Amino acid sequence: MSESLSSASKKSGLAPGTLVHIGEVHEHEHSIMMMNYNSTKLEKRTINSIEELLPYKTTDSVTWVIIDGLKDIAIVDAIGQHFDIHPLVLEDILNTNQRTKFEEYPDYLYFVIKATSLHKGSFNIEYEQISILVLKNFVFTFMEKPDALFDPIINRLNNEEGHLRNSGSDYLAYVIMDTVVDEYFTLQDAFDELIEFIEDDLLTHPSVETLVTIQKIRRELIFLRKTVSPLRELLAAIRRSESPLFDERTKRYFADIYDHSIRIIEAVESYRELISGMLDIYLSSVSNKMNETMKFLTVFASIFIPLTFIAGVYGMNFEYMPELKWKWSYPILWSVFIGIAVSLLFYFKKKKWL
């Protein structure tokens, strides 16, 4: 069965545990990569079905399975049947709108974490749900689409002397999670550069484009906060866990990710405060510009009010207006106009209105 829904609301009415893919459908060939390793051997290959993994259930080596794509529900269903995974966990794997979380079961552990990537040339953040199943000697990683996120880990497996090759499935889960969290620091650097640029632009020549960029950053920070905030809860739950699948030495490594997550969460909160302050500065700048414009127009109007009054009086064309017959009336009137304008300008200057 292969079915996809765009949102969880469209799944209303289906029985709990019904396997339906929810989320964006990525057009690519689904693939399953398997790596089986211990301190002395490493096997990498692409497999066509989950049944090919069954012989590895009886080995003492670690088997890492990467599933690229979630549209093929039969793959997830087969993992559930052959590895005794609860249907509700399988349902969560297929729902890409999950919150970052950690669930503990007697024979396996389930993680959900969000990977981020930044488009080059634009500040558009993409989110990808990474689901991780950790069994005694198996780690299943479910990805929405193929990417190079885990290539550094795969390269590390080539080192026979490396800690990864000589550790269990819990350490592999740590390395996967650490790789995902490290991408947040790349995003943090991008935020630092963009916010610094916006601050300079805001103080020199704020424009509508500046406001658009501020609002865009503000929106991205809201989504990012929803992504990284649950990390603290997830990692705290791992540190409290008494599951036999966790080695105590590995828990210390998870504590390092916990420290990283705190730094990222604090950075996101500081960015939110900076953006709110920048928005206030922008509104103040626009208001100040408006005030300056209104002040100029008010001064300009104030100069012309008495001139308009005099011009209006002598524009009434009454027959008995002696000034209209004077020889020097016109130059005298211009002298009065200029004198009034200059006097008002000096007055406004003295009052520091100009």
271 vs 19, higher pLDDT: 271
Higher-pLDDT residue of 30, 308 = 308
Q: SS3 string of the chain? A: CCCEECCHHHHCCCCCCCCCEECCCCCCCCEEEEEEECCCCEEEEEECCHHHHHHHHHCCCEEEEEEECCCCHHHHHHHHHHHCCCHHHHHHHHECCCCCEEEECCCCEEEEEEEEEECCCCCCEEEEEEEEEECCCEEEEEECCCCCCCHHHHHHCCCCCCCCCCCCHHHHHHHHHHHHHHHHHHHHHHHHHHHHHHHHHHHHCCCHHHHHHHHHHHHHHHHHHHHHHHHHHHHHHHHHCCCCCCCHHHHHHHHHHHHHHHHHHHHHHHHHHHHHHHHHHHHHHHHHHHHHHHHHHHHHHHHHHHHHHHHHHCCCCCCCCHHHHCCCHHHHHHHHHHHHHHHHHHHHHHCCCC
Taking only the tens place, the pLDDT of each residue in 44-102 is: 999 999 999 999 988 889 999 999 988 888 899 999 999 999 999 999 999 888 889 99
Interval 156-200: pLDDT, tens = 999 888 889 989 999 999 999 999 999 898 888 888 888 888 888
Q: How confident is the model over 255-283, as a mean pLDDT? A: 88
Predicted pLDDT at 286: 77
User: Model-level pTM?
Assistant: 0.78
According to the model, what pLDDT value does residue 308 have?
87
Domains contained in the chain, CATH given = 4-284 (3.30.460.20), 292-350 (1.20.58.340)
Question: Which residues, including other chains, have CB under 8 Å from residue 187's CB and lie 6 or more apart?
Answer: 116, 118, 125, 224
pLDDT in tens, 287-298: 877 887 888 788
Q: What is the pLDDT of residues 210-261, one digit of tens each?
A: 888 888 888 888 888 888 889 989 999 998 999 999 988 898 999 899 999 9
Q: Return d(Cα 24, Cα 62) in angstroms, integer.
A: 31
Q: Residue 322: what pLDDT?
A: 79
